[in-house]
Amino acid sequence: MGAIGKPVARVDGPAKVTGTATYAAEFHPENMAYAALVHGTIPRGWIKSIATDAAESVPGVIAVVTHLNAPRLPWKPVDAAPVDPGEGEQLRPLHSDEILFAGQPIALVIAESQETARAAAALVSFTCVPSDGAGLVFDRARARPPSDGTRESYPAEWERGDAEGAFASAPRRIEGSYLQPRLFHNAMEPHATIAAWDDEGKLTLWDKSQWVDNVRDQITRNFGLAEDEVRVISPFVGGAFGSALRCWPHVTMAAMAARIARRPVRLELTRRELYTAVGYRPYTLQDVKLAADEDGRLRSVIQTAYGLTSAYEDYGEEVLDPVGMLYDTMSARTVYRLVELDTNTPTPMRGPGAVTGVFALEMAIDEMADAMDMDPLEFRLKNYAERDLKKDLPFSSKALRSCYETAALRFGWEKRDPRRRAMHDGNMLVGYGMATAVWPAMQAPASVRIRLFANGTAVVRTAASDMGPGTYTSMTQVAADRLDLPVERVTFELGDSSLPMAPVHGGSMTMASVGNAVAAGCKKLRDDIARLDGAEDGEHPVETLMRLRRDSFEVDGAAEPGAEAGTHSSYAFGAVFAEVRVDPDFGTVRVPRLVGAYDGGVIVNPRTARSQAIGGMVQGIGMALMEAGEWDDRLGRVMNANLAEYLVPVHADVEELEAVFVESEDRIFNPLGVKGIAEIALCGVAPAIANAVWHATGLRIRELPLTPDRLLMAEQAARTS
Amino acid sequence: MENASTGAEGGAVQARSTMRVTLEVNGREHALDVQARTTLLDALRDRLHLNGTKKGCALGQCGACTVLMDGERVNACLVLAVMAQGRHITTIEGLRGGDGLLHPLQRAFLDHDGFQCGYCTPGQIMSGVGCIEEGHAGSRAEIRQYMSGNICRCGAYVNIVEAIFETAVGTRP
């Protein structure tokens, strides 16, 4: 039927527009109780005393749990999942009197209603003794290399050629420092877990998760259970962007509470709690040095990143991965350092690392082009990499040139006046800027179970997730395509750890991983049916089942990465162009227009893919202009832990967004030819906007977000210098 | 140095006894016992199990809990259940017509892919219905202003605006 590539309307759309899609906090097991948390207020130290009697005396309170009376869990060692930091140990909630960060949960109240639980939580009083710890001030003098477990994935140092020597001897050089603040996922659905133990001691968790299998594995170990004693259910995820990759402490606390209350318990985090109970994109400071020949050929790229981590876990990410592969540069060097603070651990947020590294690199590239008096696009094309020089491998596919050309054309880049502060619209300064986007394409092993019925319907099941991009829909399309059935006759089920194994729903790899498993399963189903006694050549498998009087036929299918990972380098690419209007009096920046062109391989559903791409642009507007967790380095707290003070884009901030997917397929990378489009859509947006602001104003502001105060101060500094 | 605190900012709040209220939601009356501090949002979700009204922040900052009260849009997290007595509450579950068909704006959200994760969607749709009713959907620019109380972190804004604009044009007399 050729369902792949069709703009199919979301199969879960009707449930979402009628309010019947059920998210984690919305299940209602009988006799459910409600939990609320009490948080420590100091960044490091010990709980000296804790008084729970006032809370316990409130009518409707079932129990108050602290480290003094919490059940001792076995905490069996867990092999670090790929979503966990390479070194360190996650907070064990209510496990001891030690406090590792401000906002750490130190007590849990279980009550008959949510209101009672929260009110009683306010009655728990405690005293704490502060102690010396890692500290609260992000100081690069305290930076250290990543520890051994982290270094395996994110090297402390890497170099090709003599980058410093090339820099020193090159005729054209620039250098600068770039700051990206702490950023929060702030998905609309707060994290929530409902836990219910049955009479046999088996645990069911309704949880907000991007990886139900991982939650099952971790909870199994924390509680010393067998794998078949824990089931994790998560049919709908209200956005996550990485915040639901890990199994966070509140999941353990929900299960603990349900065991104590001997009834199901819901633990739904508040918006404020989301700033400490789950992770965030780490504050990262970067130094970039670029050098070029007189003719505009890059000779050296040197990028150093200082990333924030917690004192109890060593969080690293791929900030520097793009350096050395994004451009055809003769030499390159990266240095990666971590700075520990007494705070909760960072976690991947959409495009983890790459978004941060590309922000600094693409602003620096723009500055270099300016120093060379070259058009920013021309400069990038001059240094276009035809091969991954970092891995020394050919790309399995690369259509970045086509992205540049397509986006530039749609945007009208040729209308750009090359001079800064030269374009106006009335009083407004107008600027055009652009940036490159890149994200490594990945695939992980996945499995599915497919049952084809003689009535011409099929059901495909796997423990995958859909946090919004449209897994339900795109997988239905793949199955319909490969089974030659109409889309509406195929049902796709996910979000249940009792289903066949699926990898984490993150890193843009669901389509490559689960999609290829669905395709492989469908092929196996057709092959197996064709081999049945009495099957006839060329007939549809449904016809075979009908003729053989079989009600249905089921197979398990799987897919995993092939040998191409060793012979090719696989990346998704993109080019983002931004127009800005800057008010010279108030320093306000508006983004009337963004155009992005992406090389994401085969696009299974252009309709949902476009939504994903423009959604990334919106988050990029937030990153460029408004988002920042404001850290108080005396109290060790994020001061704006809510959606009125941590600003994210609203309707009024977003005008024209255009996303184009260029002709691309990557059959070397995987049989479906897909590369993934989630992370790439955010990558490059912030530097494109920052470069446009420079073009509009002549002000090079290297700290995000580009708020009016920063613009006005930069303007003042430029005037006085 | 010692550091003494209670569990939440804002001081202690004593639990009080419950009171009986009658809420009219989507044309049906529901008698239920709530506390004075129980919000309309918690009453809808936790008591009536009307999950369509979403809790995104419970602070009136995100709009995910938007419902219509006597036809006007409100954040259900900022309305106490006791204040909603005698008012007509309409939630996403009550938006379908008597014929069971989707409201035109629900259909437009499907046609324009006005969401990804779907969590802000009921609030966007209820707010969009209110926006059109108020006469604030005359242009895309006007819609953007009057819908800015409803955050969509997946970033479906341009699709949402198209859905509301198309519906407003289609329902204009």
**If DSSP states are collapsed to H, E and C, what string results for B4-18?**
EEECCCCCCCCCCCC
Q: How many A-B residue pairs are in contact by the CB < 8 A criterion?
A: 241
With an 8 Å Cβ cutoff, is A267 touching chain B? no
DSSP E strand stretches across B35-134: 66-69, 72-75, 88-90
Flag whether residue B53 sits within 8 Å of chain A, measured between CB atoms.
yes
Q: What is the pLDDT of residues A21-78, one digit of tens each?
A: 999 999 999 999 999 999 999 999 999 999 999 999 999 999 999 999 999 999 998 8
Measure the CA–CA gap between B41 and B60, rounded to whole angstroms.
Answer: 11
pLDDT in tens, B24-66: 999 999 999 999 999 999 999 999 999 999 999 999 999 999 9
pLDDT at B16 over 60: no
pLDDT given for residue B2 in this prediction: 54
Q: The tokens 């008959």 sit on which residue?
A: A112
Q: How far apart are CA A471 and CA A460, in angstroms?
A: 12
Q: Which residues on B lie below 8 Å from A268 (Cβ)?
A: 55
Name the burial class of residue A364, with classes exposed (0-12), middle (13-18) and buried (19+) by CB atoms within 10 angstroms of its CB.
buried
d(CA A99, CA A39): 10
The one-character DSSP state at A639 is: T
Counting beta carbons within 10 angstroms of the beta carbon of residue B57, is it exposed (0 to 12), middle (13 to 18) or buried (19 or more)? Answer: buried
Give the tens place of pLDDT for each residue, A628-644.
999 999 999 999 999 99
Residue B9: what pLDDT? 44
The residue of chain B with its CA nearest to that of A128 is: B3
Structure tokens at A285: 């400071």
Radius of gyration of chain A (CA): 26
Q: Choose the mutation target among B103, B154, B160, B165 for the interface with A, i.e. most A CBs under 10 Å.
A: B154
Locate A498 and state its tokens. Answer: 């009792």
Q: Which of A327, A339, A335 is nearest to A302 (CA)?
A: A335
Are B75 and B120 members of one domain? Answer: no
Query: Would the CB atoms of B153 and A239 count as touching at under 8 Å?
Result: yes
Please name the member of B61, B119, B161 whose beta carbon is closest to the beta carbon of A238. Answer: B119
Does A333 have pLDDT greater than 90? yes
Predicted confidence at residue B11, as pLDDT, reads: 41
Q: How many domains are there within chain B?
A: 2
CB contact under 8 A, A9 and B37: no
Which DSSP state fits B46?
I
Mark whether B129 and B166 lie in a shared domain: yes
Q: Give catalytic residues of A, as residue numbers.
A: 679
Q: What is the mean pLDDT of residues A318-329?
A: 96
Cα nearest neighbour of B161 on chain A: A651
Query: Please, what are the domains in chain A?
Result: 24-132+188-239+244-275 (3.90.1170.50), 391-441+568-721 (3.30.365.10), 444-560 (3.30.365.10)
- Same domain? For B116 and B156 the reply is yes
Which of A190, A469, A656 is closest, CB to CB, to B116? A469
pLDDT at B1: 46
Q: What percent of chain A has pLDDT over 70?
A: 100
Domain end residue (candidates: B94, B129, B148): B94
CA angle, residues A339, A280, A363, in degrees to nearest 5: 75
> Are the Cβ atoms of A612 and B116 closer than 8 angstroms?
yes
- How far A419 CA sits from the closest chain B CA (Å)? 31
Angle of CA points A273, A310, A83, to nearest 5°: 80
Nearest by Cα to A677 from A607, A575, A593, A574: A574
Nearest residue of chain A to residue B10 (CA atoms) = A122
pLDDT at A143: 98
Both B122 and B141 in one domain: the answer is yes
For A71, A77, A195, A216, A656, the CA distances from A222, given in Å and listed in that order, are 11, 8, 14, 10, 48
Residues B108 and B84 in one domain: no
Position B110 in a domain: yes
Phi, psi of A152 (to 5 degrees): -55, -40
Mean pLDDT of chain B: 92
User: Which residues, other chains included, contact A181 with Cβ-Cβ below 8 Å and sequence gap of 6+?
Assistant: A283, A627, A628, A629, A630, A703, A704, A705
B4 belongs to a structural domain: no
Within a domain: residue B10? no
Q: Sheet of B88-90: strands edge to edge?
A: B28-34, B19-25, B88-90, B66-69, B72-75
A374 with A382: CB under 8 angstroms? yes
Whether residue A368 contacts residue A290, with contact meaning beta carbons closer than 8 Å, is answered with: yes
Looking at residue A226, its pLDDT comes to 96
Do B129 and B89 share a domain, yes or no? no
B78 and B117 together in one domain: no
Instruction: Please tell me whether residues B67 and B113 are part of one structural domain.
Output: no
Which of B72, B94, B116 marks a domain boundary? B94
Of B61, B94, B127, the last residue of a domain is B94
Is residue B8, in this structure, part of any structural domain at all?
no
pLDDT, position B90:
98
In a domain, B78, yes or no: yes
Contact B147 A651 (CB under 8 A): yes
Mean of per-residue pLDDT scores for chain A:
97
pLDDT band at B3; cut points 50, 70, 90: low
Residues 69..88 of B with a Cβ closer than 8 Å to A: which? none
Confirm whether the ipTM is greater than 0.95: yes
Q: List the single residue in A with minimal CA-CA distance to B142.
A: A652
**Residue in B with minimal Cα distance to A241:** B154
Q: Does A188 touch chain B (CB under 8 A)?
A: yes
Flag whether pLDDT at B126 surpasses 60: yes
Compute the distance between CA of residue B75 and CA of residue B92 in angstroms, rounded to an integer. Answer: 13
Residue B108 lies in domain = 104-171
Substitution target in B39, B113, B162 with the highest count of A β-carbons within 10 Å is B113
CB contacts of B158 in chain A (<8 Å) are 614, 654-657
pLDDT at residue A592, as a whole number: 98
Q: Do B27 and B85 belong to one domain?
A: yes
Among the listed residues A188, A245, A94, the one whose alpha carbon sits nearest the alpha carbon of residue A468: A188
Q: Are strands A393-394 and A192-197 parallel, antiparallel or unpaired?
A: unpaired
Task: Please list every residue in chain A whose beta carbon sits closer than 8 Å to the beta carbon of residue B15.
Answer: 58-60, 116, 119-120
pLDDT category of residue A563 using cuts at 50, 70 and 90:
confident
Residues 156..185 of A with a Cβ closer than 8 Å to B: which?
185
Q: Which amino acid is at A250?
A: H
- CATH for B84: 3.10.20.30
Mean pLDDT of A375-385: 98
Q: What is the mean pLDDT of residues B68-97?
A: 96
Whether B1 is covered by a domain: the verdict is no
Nearest CA to A607 out of A1, A3, A10 is that of: A10
Residues of A in contact with B54 (CB under 8 A): 23, 188-189, 238
Q: What are phi and psi of A382, to 5 degrees?
A: -65, -30
- Please give the angle made by the CA atoms of B68, B74 and B76, to the nearest 5 degrees: 95
Min CA distance, A268 vs chain B (Å)? 10
Residue B69 resides in a domain:
yes
Average pLDDT over residues A427-455: 98
pLDDT at B4 over 70: no
Q: Which of residues 305-324 of A touch B (CB under 8 A)?
A: none
Please indicate whether, in this complex, the C-beta atoms of A17 and B151 are within 8 angstroms of each other. Answer: no
Chain B residues whose beta carbon lies within 8 Å of the beta carbon of residue A125: 4-7
Residues B110 and B58 in one domain: no
Residue B13 lies in a domain: no
Q: Shortest Cα distance from A188 to chain B (angstroms)?
A: 5
> Which tokens hold the place of A706?
């580009």
Q: Do B155 and A615 touch (CB under 8 A)?
A: yes
What CATH code is carried by the domain that includes residue B130? 1.10.150.120
One domain for residues B74 and B132: no
- For residues B25 and B43, state if they share a domain: yes
**pLDDT computed for residue B103 by the predictor:** 97
